[in-house]
């Protein structure tokens, strides 16, 4: 007879349970710790989100019942579909000029012809002038989806009225030093078109040297005027063509109202190797008294070439009937002597500017600028054919600028001018030291 002994599983289960208990406890502890860790992480995320929301609410503008669409949009304020932005700068200048040139606050930054007058007056005195008139205020707008395109506008004013304005209109230095705003730019852009007043298409501001007395070098093209311009894409850059305001006179002594606008064009290339452009202008110069009309033109080449680090070289060369376009009307558009004799003779000139900008550090930089211009044609009634006693001018600028912030620039600049006398080998010299503080907003 076979005897069967039953297998008792309880001792085995107890043994297995006892052996596995530490592992189970460890697993449970691990799961609990993981749950606690995830919970803590979730709490941190919620707290960070609450802080972000609180910050967003505190910095957002409050909605008003009468202006429910007031919202911030980038650097501007959005009202309905239009974003409005404000800008400009305060520029305070101290000018020390040779030849007894105190730079009256009626036009403190001066013109090459006023420098030439100071150079020739025989005075060895240095005079001082202060001004804040180059300060500017600007307003820009952008409206989205205007017939499928963005519509942008820009208007800019400063306080540099013309030196020839009446004394009562330009203010004075006796008590108030008050001056009226002056329109610099006012234009709108839409679907490749520019309408209004801005810098002439005949110049490339990318090549403009960085000097404190901006635009006041001998030969640079620097004009703002009303125009109708079209911009189109071209290989490597863009092509711009414009009809611009015609003018062949000066300070109210216009020869005549012109029959046709100035035609300007510029082909611009911008890439990793710099900025390059070629520009041209075609002008109609006429005089009803002489019953004569002449078509004249000019060309300009410019470049801004990166060199070492952040340094760059800026170049511009211009030739032709440049007249008022170059050097802030250093020369007239026609031979004034020939005009008085009943003939219209466009005055050919040329100008060249070279500037090197060097960064000593991210905050410190300097520019060295050499600029020269000269009359090419022989003046028939010298020196009455031009606006002053000289037929060539040369300027040299050297400065040191400090910008601890993009909105703050302090600088000191030295300028030297040489004016070559007509029909002689002599020349007159002018010097200027300028200290400037520019604070943008």
Residue 5 has pLDDT above 50, yes or no: no
Q: What is the mean pLDDT of residues 152-157?
A: 95
* Residue in 176, 177, 174, 183 with CA at minimum distance from that of residue 108: 177
With residue 114 as reference, give the H or E element that holds it: helix 112-119
Q: Quick check: 414 and 398 in contact, CB under 8 A?
A: yes
pLDDT tens sequence across 309-361: 999 999 999 999 999 999 988 999 988 888 888 888 899 999 999 999 999 99
The residue with greater pLDDT, 5 or 128, is 128
pLDDT tens sequence across 32-46: 545 566 666 766 666
* Cβ atoms within 10 Å, residue 437: 16
How far apart CA 19 and CA 276 sit, in angstroms, is 84
> What angle is formed at CA 409 by the lines to CA 403 and CA 410, rounded to 5 degrees?
105
For residue 37, what pLDDT is reported?
64
Q: Please count the helices (runs of H) and the strands (runs of E) in the chain.
A: 4, 19
Q: Give the side-chain half-sphere CA count within 13 A for 365.
A: 19
The share of the chain scoring above pLDDT 90, in percent, equals 53
Picking from 66-75, 149-158, 324-333, 357-366, which range would have the lowest pLDDT averaged per residue?
Answer: 66-75
Q: Quick check: 264 and 201 in contact, CB under 8 A?
A: yes
Give the tokens for residue 190. Answer: 């839409």
**pTM (predicted TM-score):** 0.79
For residue 400, what pLDDT is reported?
98
For residue 420, what pLDDT is reported?
95
With residue 420 as reference, give the H or E element that holds it: strand 408-421
With residue 48 as reference, give the H or E element that holds it: helix 10-59
With residue 263 as reference, give the H or E element that holds it: strand 262-271
Tell me the fold of 86-440: Porin (2.40.160)
Q: What is the mean pLDDT of the chain?
A: 82
* Residue in 140, 31, 135, 48 with CA at minimum distance from that of residue 92: 135
For residue 253, what pLDDT is reported?
65
């Amino acid at each position: 007879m076979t005897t069967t002994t039953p297998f008792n599983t309880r001792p085995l289960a107890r043994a297995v349970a006892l052996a596995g208990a530490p592992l189970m406890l460890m697993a449970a502890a691990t799961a609990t710790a993981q749950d606690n860790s995830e919970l803590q992480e979730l709490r941190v995320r919620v707290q960070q989100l609450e802080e972000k929301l609180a910050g967003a609410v505190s910095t957002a503008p409050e909605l008003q019942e009468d202006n429910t669409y007031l919202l911030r949009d980038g650097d501007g304020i959005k009202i309905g579909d239009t974003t409005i932005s404000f800008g400009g700068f305060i520029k305070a200048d101290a000018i020390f000029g040779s030849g007894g040139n105190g730079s009256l606050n009626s036009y403190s930054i001066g013109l090459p012809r006023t420098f030439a007058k100071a150079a020739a007056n025989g005075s060895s005195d240095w005079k001082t002038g202060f001004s804040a008139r180059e300060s500017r205020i600007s307003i820009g707008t952008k409206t989205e989806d205007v017939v499928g395109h963005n519509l942008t506008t820009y208007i800019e004013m400063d306080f540099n009225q013309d030196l020839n304005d009446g004394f009562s209109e330009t203010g004075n230095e006796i008590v108030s030093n008050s001056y009226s705003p002056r329109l610099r730019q006012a234009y709108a852009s839409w679907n490749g078109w520019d309408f209004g007043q801005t810098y002439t298409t005949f110049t490339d501001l990318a090549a403009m040297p960085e000097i404190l007395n901006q635009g006041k070098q001998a030969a640079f093209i620097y004009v703002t005027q009303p125009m109708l311009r079209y911009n189109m894409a071209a290989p490597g850059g863009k092509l711009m063509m414009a009809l611009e305001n015609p003018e062949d006179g000066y300070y109210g002594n216009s020869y005549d109202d012109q029959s046709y606008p100035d035609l300007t064009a510029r082909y611009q290339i911008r890439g990793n190797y710099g900025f390059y452009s070629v520009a041209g202008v075609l002008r109609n110069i006429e005089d009803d008294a002489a019953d004569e009309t002449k078509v004249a033109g000019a060309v300009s080449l410019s470049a801004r070439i990166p060199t070492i680090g952040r340094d760059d070289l800026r170049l511009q060369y211009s030739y032709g009937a440049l007249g008022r376009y170059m050097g802030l009307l250093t020369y007239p558009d026609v031979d004034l002597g020939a005009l008085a004799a009943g003939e219209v003779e466009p005055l050919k000139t040329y100008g060249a500017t070279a500037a090197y900008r060097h960064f000593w550090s991210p905050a410190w930089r300097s520019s060295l600028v050499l600029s020269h211009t000269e009359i090419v044609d022989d003046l028939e009634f010298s020196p009455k054919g031009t606006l002053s006693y000289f037929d060539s001018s040369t300027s040299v600028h050297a400065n040191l600028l400090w910008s601890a912030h993009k909105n703050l620039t302090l600088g000191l600049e030295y300028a030297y001018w040489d004016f070559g006398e007509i029909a002689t080998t002599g020349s007159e010299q002018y010097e200027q030291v300028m200290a400037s503080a520019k604070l943008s907003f």
